[in-house]
Amino acid sequence: MKQYIQSLLLQGVDGLKSAGAIPADFVPKIMVEASKDKTHGDYASNIAMLLRKPMGLAPRDAAEKLVAALPKSDRIARIEIAGPGFINFYVNAGYLGSRIESMLSDGGRFGVAKTASPVTVVCDYSSPNVAKEMAVHHIRSTVIGDACARMLEFLGNKVVRANHIGDWGTQFGMLIAYLEKMENESGADLDLSDFEAFYRAAKKEYDEDPAFAEKARGYVVRLQGGDDYCRRMWKKLVDMTMAQNQRIYDRMNVSLKPSDVMGESMYNPMLPEVVADLQKKGLAVKSEGADVVFLKDWEGKDGKPMAVIIRKSDGGYLYTTTDIACAKYRVEHFGAKRVLYFVDSRQHQHLLQAWEIARMAGYIPDDVVFEHESFGMMLGKDGRPFKTRSGGTVKLAALLDEAESRAAELLESRASDLSDDEKQKVIHEVAVGAVKYADLSKNRTTDYVFDWDNMLSFDGNTAPYLQYAYTRIRSIFRNAGEAAPGKVILSEEIEKELAQKLTLFSDAVVSAADKAMPNILCSYLYELSGMFMSFYEKCPVNKDGVPDDVRASRLSLCAAVAGVLKLGLSLLGINVLERM
Ligand code: ARG
C-alpha cells in the first residue's frame, strides 16, 4: 500500500513536470508513512513540503496542485490536505477486504510476493570452531543468520548457507597429539562431548610437556603437508565437533545441514595463489620478511597507511588471508551479488580489511555487496558477559535443557487436556521459540541481556505470547463448526485497522530481509497479535446473534492473522502449535 501510494505520488509529480509546474530535473524523495492517528487517514506524505522550492508555492498550495494531478484509484476512498500541507490518504475498505481475500488465496504466501530481481545471496553464519564448544556469539550468529537466510530465500533469492567453521590452524598439531594420547589410553573410540575440557587438557599438556609440544609441532607440519595419518585424525576432530553441533541445529530448528559446512580448511589450498596474485598486482609487498598489503585509506598507529599481514615471515597464513580467498570464492564460484556475514562486532575491522584487499585485487566487483551484519554481546542479568554460575562458558545443550524445564514450569500452571506426548512437544517448541525469539526480537547491533523471566512469559513481545495468540485462533476455528471464512466486509474501525495491518506483512518481511534485521518482523508480528486481541474483544466470531456474513468475514480475518503468524514465525525459525 505504501509503495502503491508512493507510485501514485510519483505519477502526480511526473504529471506536474510535463505541465511545467515542477522543473524536470527535480527528483523528490517521496516518503509515505502509515499514520499513527487514524483521524488523519491511513497513510500520510510530506511530499508537499519538499515541493515548496521547486514549485515556488506554499506547501498547502503545492499539495492541492499535486492532489489534483494524482491518477484516480479505486483503492483510495478519500484524500485530504491537512496542517501545513500533509497529504492524508484514506484507504478504501472494500479494497482492503479484497486484499485480505487475496492474501488467503495466494498459495500460502499471504501477500508476500517474490522479488522481481532475485539474486544469489551468501549467508555466512554460525561458524563455530572445531574442538570448542559453540560460544555465546555463535548462538547469536546462528539464530539471527538462520532467520535472515529463511526470509531471503522465501523472497525468491538463491541463498547459499555458509558455515565458516574454524577448522584450520596451528592448534591442530596439539589437538591431534592429544587425541592420539587419549585414544592410546582409553583403547576404544572416545566420546569427546566435553570439548572445552579436551581443549584445555591438550593446551596444558602442550605447555607443560616439551616432548608433547615437539610432537604437536611436527604434526602441524605433517597436516599441512597433506600427511594421511594427520589428515585422518584432523577429520575425526572436525566430524565429532560438527556431529555435536548438528544435533544442536536440529534441536533448535536451525536450517543448517552438514553440506553447508565450508570451513577455513577449504580455502587453505587457495592461499598461495591469492598471495602470489596480490604480489603480481603490486598490492602485496615484502616487509621484514612478511608479505603485507598497505591500506591507504586506513591509518596505522604512526599515521602512515595501515599494513595488513597476509603471510608471516615463516610462511604461515592468517585469518585475513583466508577471508580474502573466501570472498573471492563466494563471488566467483557462487556468483554472489550479496554476501552477509553474521559475525560479532569485535571482528568488524578484520572483515573490512579483508574485503578492502579483495576489492583492490578485483575479486569483489562494484556491484557486489559485502555486509557485516554485526551484533553485540549477550549479557547476563548482571550486565556482564553471559556465563554459567561458576563463571564457565554456557553450553548450548545445557541452555536448551534449562529452557525446557522452565517452559515446563510455565505451562504447568495452565489447565490442559493434552496428552503427555503433546505436552512434551509443546514444552520443546515453547522453549526453543522463547530462546530464539528473545535474541531475534532485539535490535541485533546492541548488546542483549539474556533474561529467563522475560523470554518465558505469556506477556510482552515473546515467542510464547505469539504462539499462544496462534492457538487461540485455532481454537476459534475448532469452535466454528460448519461456519467457514468468506467475503471480507470491514465495518468496525478495529476490523479496518486489523486488515490494514495484515496488508503490511509483506513490507515487514521485505524490510527485515533487506536490512538483515529480524527484529523488524518480530515487532510486526507482536503488533499484529496485539491488534488481533483487541479485535477479538470487540468483534465476537462464534457468539449467537452474529449474522452469518459478518461471521464469515471475521473468520477470514482470523484465518489471515493465523496464517501470517504461522508463516512469520516460520521465517524466524519458530514453530507454532495447534494447542498449548
Ligand atoms: N569462526 C569464527 C569465530 O568463531 C567466525 C567466522 C566468521 N566468518 C568469517 N568468514 N570470518 O569467531
pLDDT value for 189: 57
Domain covering 268-372, topology? Rossmann fold (3.40.50)
CA distances in angstroms from 479 to 85, 437, 472, 512, 552, listed in the order given: 49, 30, 11, 35, 13
Distance CA(133)–CA(199), nearest Å, equals 10
CA distances in angstroms from 6 to 3, 83, 103, 504, listed in the order given: 5, 20, 21, 15
Query: Which stretches does DSSP call E strand in 398-513?
Result: 448-449
For atom 4 of ligand 1, which residue has the closest CA?
128
pLDDT in tens, 52-69: 999 999 999 999 999 999
Residue 341 CA: which ligand 1 atom is closest?
8
- In angstroms and rounded to an integer, the radius of gyration of the C-alpha atoms of the chain is 29
Distance CA(379)–CA(386), nearest Å, equals 5
pLDDT value for 190: 64
Partner residues linked to 385 by β-bridges: 379
Residue 326 CA: which ligand 1 atom is closest?
10
Q: The C-alpha cell of 298 is what?
A: 586506513
Residue 135 CA: which ligand 1 atom is closest?
4
Domain boundaries, the chain: 2-91, 171-254, 268-372, 397-571
By DSSP bridging, strand 369-372 and strand 378-379 are unpaired
**Choice from 122, 126, 138, 164 to test ligand 1 binding pocket (greatest atom count within 8 A of CB):** 164
Q: Are residues 100 and 499 in contact, defined by beta-carbon separation less than 8 angstroms?
A: yes
pTM (two decimals): 0.88
Q: Are residues 137 and 377 in contact, defined by beta-carbon separation less than 8 angstroms?
A: yes
Residue 73 has pLDDT above 90, yes or no: no
Q: Which residues, 6+ apart, have CB-to-CB distance to 320 below 8 Å?
A: 308, 309, 310, 350, 353, 354, 357
pLDDT in tens, 259-275: 999 999 999 999 999 99
pLDDT value for 3: 73
Locus of grid cell 594420547: 181
Find the helix packing angle between 93-103 and 548-571, rounded to 10°: 60
How many helices (H) and strands (E) the chain has is answered by: 22, 13
Distance CA(269)–CA(379), nearest Å, equals 38
For atom 11 of ligand 1, which residue has the closest CA?
323
Residue 165 CA: which ligand 1 atom is closest?
1
Percent of the chain at pLDDT exceeding 70 = 98
Distance between Cα 323 and ligand 1 center (Å): 9
> The domain 397-571 is classified under which CATH number: 3.40.50.720, 1.10.287.3510, 3.40.109.10, 1.10.730.10?
1.10.730.10
Distance between Cα 294 and ligand 1 center (Å): 23
For atom 8 of ligand 1, which residue has the closest CA?
164
Distance between Cα 238 and ligand 1 center (Å): 15
Query: What's the rounded mean pLDDT across residues 391-411?
Result: 88
pLDDT value for 389: 76
Query: What's the rounded mean pLDDT across residues 27-43?
Result: 87
Average pLDDT of the residues of the chain: 93
Residue 480 has pLDDT above 80, yes or no: yes
DSSP one-letter string for 141-184: HHHHHHHHHHHHHHTT-EEEEEB--B--STHHHHHHHHHHHHHH
Distance between Cα 376 and ligand 1 center (Å): 15
Residue 413 has pLDDT above 80, yes or no: no
For atom 5 of ligand 1, which residue has the closest CA?
127
Q: List ligand 1's pocket residues with C-beta within 6 A.
A: 124, 127, 129, 164, 166, 323, 326, 341, 343
**Choice from 122, 126, 127 to test ligand 1 binding pocket (greatest atom count within 8 A of CB):** 127
Distance between Cα 72 and ligand 1 center (Å): 54
pLDDT in tens, 215-239: 999 999 999 999 999 999 999 999 9
Residue 188 has pLDDT above 60, yes or no: no
pLDDT in tens, 110-162: 999 999 999 999 999 999 999 988 877 889 999 999 999 999 999 999 999 99
DSSP one-letter string for 495-561: HHHHHHHHHTHHHHHHHHHHHT-HHHHHHHHHHHHHHHHHHHHHS-SSSTT--HHHHHHHHHHHHHH
Nearest 5°: the CA angle 520, 531, 500 is 75
**Three-state secondary structure call for residue 366:** coil
pLDDT-derived band at 187 (thresholds 50, 70, 90) equals: low
Percent of the chain at pLDDT exceeding 90 = 81
Distance between Cα 352 and ligand 1 center (Å): 13
Q: The C-alpha cell of 13 is what?
A: 509529480
Secondary structure, 3-state, 73-109: CCCEEEEEEECCCEEEEEECHHHHHHHHHHHCCCCCC
Distance CA(109)–CA(90), nearest Å, equals 26
Does the domain at 2-91 match CATH 3.40.50.300? Answer given as no
Nearest 5°: the CA angle 573, 576, 579 is 160
Residue 192 has pLDDT above 80, yes or no: no
Distance CA(190)–CA(331), nearest Å, equals 40
Distance CA(577)–CA(565), nearest Å, equals 11
Distance CA(446)–CA(344), nearest Å, equals 11
